[in-house]
Amino acid sequence: MTAKEYLNQLPNMQLRIDSLRRSIQLCQERAENTGAQFSDSPRVQGNGNKIADNIEKKADFEAELLQLIDEFERFRIRAIREINRIPDSMYASVLIDKYINGYTWERVAKNIGFQNEDYVRKILHAKALESFEKNNPETTRKSPEKSLYFSGK
């Protein structure tokens, strides 16, 4: 796995976390709306099942979310330590701002004092990844735990 693929696991995990949070919110809204919709009418067979199903799904999503957040935080800390092995602070800043903080290339460039985001993205980023590879051989890098959400596929 290349350094870029390795570090890109962080924003990919964050996307999965955000998606799970949206799923939890949707289950909550469905459970509340189903209950409100039928509160004034006679008990309809199956209405309670819809509420219970959404509450159960929400609980499942919440458990999965907690597991994924734990994996993400452990991997994030490990990645920061690995990035900090890079002797060049500018290269380390590029990688931290892009992969750890999730900043746009424009913001990454601005943070390190460059106007040209293309130069930062194409030149400095490539050099930063090379330095990461040199200071963190592939044999020393560990991917996040293989969870339901992160099977490396």
Let me know if residue 146 belongs to a domain: no
Q: Please, are residues 51 and 87 in contact by the beta-carbon 8 Å criterion? A: no
Please name which of 71, 72, 84, 100 lies closest in space to residue 136, comparing C-alpha atoms: 84
pTM of the model: 0.76
pLDDT digits (tens, 9 = 90+) for 44-63: 455 557 788 878 888 888 99
CATH of the domain at 65: 1.10.287
Task: Considering only the C-alpha atoms of the chain, give the largest distance between any 2 of them, rounded to a whole number of Å.
Answer: 70
For position 149, what pLDDT does the model report?
Answer: 47
For position 55, what pLDDT does the model report?
Answer: 83
Which residues form the domain of 103?
A: 85-137
For position 51, what pLDDT does the model report?
Answer: 80
* C-beta atoms surrounding 121 within 10 Å: 17
Q: What's the full length of the chain, in residues? A: 153
| Per-residue CA distances from 123 to 27, 33, 68 (Å) | 45, 52, 33
Q: How many Cα atoms sit within 13 Å of 52 on the Cβ side? A: 5
The number of distinct structural domains making up the chain is 2
Let me know if residue 127 belongs to a domain: yes
Nearest-10 crossing angle of helices 125-135, 47-83:
80
User: How do the pLDDT tens digits run along the chain, 153 residues long?
Assistant: 899 999 999 999 999 999 999 999 988 888 888 655 444 455 445 555 778 887 888 888 899 999 999 999 999 999 999 999 999 999 999 999 999 999 999 999 999 999 999 999 999 999 999 999 999 988 777 777 655 445 444
Q: End of a domain among 83, 106, 122?
A: 83
Q: Please, are residues 148 and 142 in contact by the beta-carbon 8 Å criterion? A: no
Same domain, 31 and 77: yes
